[in-house]
Structure 1
Amino acid sequence: MTTTSLKDQVSPEEWQLRVDLAAAYRLVALYGWDDLVFTHISVRIPGPEHHFLINPYGMMFEEITASSLVKIDLNGEKVQDSPYPVNPAGFTIHSAIHQAREDALCVMHTHSLNGVAVSAQRDGVLPLSQQSTLILASLGYHDYEGIALNEEEKPRLVANLADNTFLMLRNHGLLTVGSNPADAFLAMYFFEAACMIQVRALAGNRDLTPINPSIVSGVKEAAEIATKGLFGGLAWPGLLRKLDRQNPGYAD
């Protein structure tokens, strides 16, 4: 799918965000977390306007490029010409969080099979793996209210996310926030891994060994040390190299 390059029509800062966001979309597809065209990742462009970038609705995640991303405002109106529409449910969820959380420059939402499976379990994420401890240290839950088209849902969504990195949308899927696409993606990687491990562990039909709750309390500090304070930035260059080998063209 051919799109005219916007590289010379936007600031260098916005272009880099576009490249990283397009890469995040393609990595979500590469790891199998996409749901055809029906989920979304957004990045807020720094500045008082609260403009943000989101996927062109109808384009497969593996096809998305930096130039095809759509720039909209908090009212869902395009602020730059684009031939592509925007998912209205994506706008509702993402605009609510971008407006409420200055630190949440990137918001990632998936409908992965493992994530939806755990979101349907009454107890949610269980302390069964090292990955789960990272999630449990910064996790909120939001009850299902139907397809996210209702503006009245926004304050409840924001309140349930609070200042957490992870939000489980019950009966719906997973959501992460980060200061950039790299952080939001790595958070989703751990979230998805914790859910996959939980589904497999429960399917094993054996007694499980839960992790001591006291361990969860220190996991944020331990994660900082383990990732050298870079979190997603530590893995991101390698992920981009992987993407360059398997699905190049996202930076177009």
Structure 2
Amino acid sequence: MSITNLRPNLNHWQERVDLAAAFRWTARLNMHEGVANHFSLAVNDDGTRFLMNPNQIHFSRVKASDMLEIDANDPETLSGPNAPDPTAWGLHGGLHRHCAHARCAMHVHSIHATVLASLADSRLPPIDQNCATFFNRYVIDEHYGGLAFEEEGARCAALFSDPKQKVMIMGNHGVLIIGETVAETFNRLYYFERAAETYIRALQTGQPLRILPDDVAEKTAQELEDYPEQDERHLGELKAILDEESCNYAT
């Protein structure tokens, strides 16, 4: 379903609306970090122009018209009057500059994903269907180097060399999710946090884990990857709820 462009002077209106809905729902799920963390979405063919939330606006207040349109190859980006957060430029600029298949990127410090990233062993074993979704489909960053300025952003982007791996468990930091669209990426972010919560809570029982065999975990992950339209329907339902509440996200 297309969305009426309420700001005809702004390009990529549908994409802006989808991003704004993702920000609003991430705040509702308490997966935000106040005025920190960032989502981005490429809007040109090579992925180097992208939309991103403005500097230090709370996720619960982000609107479609707020999105910055940024050129990852413009060295003057941080010197403008409406400059993005430097760490957002470092991480997302590096990602869109060096990783063309990362059309959309969502970075959060959500509680359970960050707990997982804080463990000496940050692997997510396939102990249930949600966890199996990510079997062989994440990469662990073992070399956190401080705030994600340009050098750190380029280093992180290089870790997404395998297109099959669309989740980065950022050791000592949080999680970075990539995908083709806002709907796909948000759906993946949502279910990774759910999976991490299941695993962390299972560890808390102190009981042995029931881990799926590799072949069953891979079969499950593939079946879920091929499952039709869940990501679009998920985001569509969230936007419908926001619309019913007369939320101003799409303005």
TM-score range, shorter chain: 0.7 to 0.9
Contact 1:224–1:231 under 8 Å retained in 2: no
- Distance in 2 (CA, whole Å) between partners of 1:209 and 1:157 is 32
The offset of 1:16, in angstroms, is 0.8
Contact 1:71–1:78 under 8 Å retained in 2: no
- Distance in 2 (CA, whole Å) between partners of 1:156 and 1:68 is 29
Cα displacement string for residues 181-237 of structure 1 (whole angstroms, at most 9, x for unaligned residues)? 111100001110111111111111222211212222223431134x31x34113221
Q: Which residue of 2 aligns with 1:41?
A: 39
Instruction: Write the letter of the residue equivalent to 1:135.
Output: F
When the two chains are superposed, the root-mean-square deviation of aligned CA atoms in Å is: 2.2
Contact 2:140–2:169 under 8 Å retained in 1: yes
The offset of 1:84, in angstroms, is 4.3
Contact 2:105–2:177 under 8 Å retained in 1: yes
Q: Which residue of 1 aligns with 2:71?
A: 73
**Percent of residue pairs bearing the same amino acid type:** 28
Q: Which residue of 2 aligns with 1:152?
A: 151
- Larger displacement relative to structure 2 (34-43 or 88-97): 88-97
| 1:207 aligns to 2:208 (yes or no) | yes
| 1:32 aligns to 2:30 (yes or no) | yes
Q: Which residue of 2 aligns with 1:166?
A: 167
Q: Which residue of 2 aligns with 1:179?
A: 180
Contact 2:95–2:154 under 8 Å retained in 1: no
Q: Which residue of 2 aligns with 1:217?
A: 218
Cα distance change on mapping 1:118 and 1:44 into 2, 3 Å? same
Contact 2:70–2:77 under 8 Å retained in 1: yes
Q: TM-score, normalised by structure 1?
A: 0.87
- Distance in 2 (CA, whole Å) between partners of 1:53 and 1:87 is 13
Instruction: Write the letter of the residue equivalent to 2:96.
Output: H
Cα distance change on mapping 1:100 and 1:231 into 2, 3 Å? farther
Cα distance change on mapping 1:90 and 1:112 into 2, 3 Å? same
Contact 2:131–2:192 under 8 Å retained in 1: yes
- For structure 1, the 5+ residue unaligned runs are none
- Deviation >4 Å, runs of 4+: 76-79
Q: How many matched pairs?
A: 241
Q: TM-score, normalised by structure 2?
A: 0.88
Instruction: Write the letter of the residue equivalent to 1:215.
Output: V
